[in-house]
Structure 1
Amino acid sequence: MPRKTDARARAIATAERLFRIQGYAATGLNQIIEESGSPKGSFYFHFPRGKTQLAEETIDLYLANRAAVFRHISANTTGDAPNFFHQIFGAIAAEMIVDDFQYGCLMQNLANELSVLDAELTKRVARGFVDLTEIVAEHLRGCGFAAARASSSAAALVAAIEGARTIARVERAPVVFEALADIFCQRCL
């Protein structure tokens, strides 16, 4: 039996998994509570504002984890844009393979749904895309890219990742990530 103090973490992990697989609107609180094994009273103790608060905290944790991956890859590829591109696309592809192509990007799924449902959650997701884009741009500036080129390349990379996730999920294959890594490396020449 899971520890009761783990109820908050289990609810967030369950929400992330369900939002990534089936989306926000299709995921009900009862499903999250049931699949996380969290008692209903415990759930509302941790998330008094319900699903919206749970989504906020899930977004924040997901973004923190994404940013950590990007920063780790950046630190391991200092000054080396081609290797950075290959590792970023490779990490996303590997994650999708491990998850059997079931999981979309939490941010992409929520962005597709929330713009008409919740302006505040939409702003939080948008800020996440901006933060990830800035991590990439910072790395590229460190590789000698001019500021404007670093910014445009970073925006293109983040957009490409989101599109590639969708294609890889449908095709159930990571080939699109390899193609994107090659194209981005050509931009370095």
Structure 2
Amino acid sequence: MPRTSDARDRAIATAERLFRIQGFTATGLIQILKESGAPKGSFYFHFPRGKTQLAEEAIDRYVARRIDVLRKISANTAGDALKFVQQLFSTFAAEMVATDFQYGCLMQNLANELPSLDADLTQRVARGFVDSTAIVAEHFKACGFTPERASSTAAGLVAALEGARTIARLERTPDVFKALAEVCANRWAASEG
């Protein structure tokens, strides 16, 4: 019976972690191999196109997990736009704290450096933002927002979350997420009043 190896999964997980912490360009294959424990021969067997293919798979895995989290939060807050937003901010804040403010958003990190490096990876990252923003817009539509308002609110919320993650990393505190949740609560209260 052939021996199974988790070298492929370890390489993807290690690349994702390193891309989230230090970015694409600063992460070398030698570092990925060393930290994942994947043998070089095994790496090129699983990723014949090298670092680019590894990045594609790390992006796909990250986006799938992000969409799963968004869907779970949406299901937990069905019909309540404000609770949805508050739970999003608290979930992102909790992840920042749990990773000691080391992990940025994989898509945001790659979006900042890939356009000049790789058009295909840039498109994959862009698709990740589009797909995850669509999940947020779906929730707002289910809360009674018009399609236009749902789309614009979702786009603004995703941008706010990404910016908040950057600020939280710099300041090493989740306070920006709390501030954004408060702004949203005040906005919703004002629009209902």
Give yes or no for TM over 0.5: yes
SS at match of 1:145: coil
1:16-55 to 2 correspondence within 5 Å? 16-55=16-55
Matched to 1:43, the amino acid is F
In the aligned structure 2, how far is the partner of 1:97 from the partner of 1:156? 23
Would you identify which runs of 4 or more consecutive aligned residues in structure 1 move more than 6 Å? none
Match of 1:117 in 2: 117
Does structure 2 conserve the Cα–Cα contact (< 8 Å) formed by 1:81 and 1:185? no
How far the C-alpha of 1:4 sits from its partner, in A, is 5.8
Deviations 1:68-95 (A, max 9, x none): 0000000010000110001001000000
Q: Secondary structure at the match of 1:167?
A: helix
Three-state SS of the structure 2 residue aligned to 1:115 is coil
Task: Report the counterpart of residue 6 of structure 2 in structure 1.
Answer: 6
Q: Which residue of 1 aligns with 2:73?
A: 73
SS in 2 for 1:48: coil
SS in 2 for 1:5: coil
C-alpha displacement of 1:186? 3.2
Indicate the SS of the match to 1:158: helix
> Is 1:93 paired with 2:93?
yes
Cα distance between partner residues in 2 of 1:185 and 1:130: 25
Q: Which residue identity lines up with residue 101 of structure 1 in the other structure?
A: F
- Give the root-mean-square deviation of aligned CA atoms: 1.0
Q: Are 1:133 and 2:136 an aligned pair?
A: no
SS in 2 for 1:179: helix
Residue aligning to 2:59: 59
Q: Which runs of 5+ in 1 are unaligned?
A: none
The answer for unaligned runs of 5 or more in structure 2 is none
Mapped pair 1:151 → 2:151: yes
Displacement after TM superposition at 1:156 (Å):
0.3
1:47-103 deviation digits (Å, cap 9, x = unpaired): 010000000000000000000000000001000011000100100000000000011
Secondary structure, counterpart of 1:156 in structure 2 = helix
Q: Is the Cα–Cα contact under 8 Å of residues 17 and 103 in structure 1 kept in the other structure?
A: yes
Distance in 2 separating the partners of 1:34 and 1:4: 20
Cα separation, 1, equivalents of 2:150 and 2:187: 11
TM-score relative to the length of structure 2:
0.95
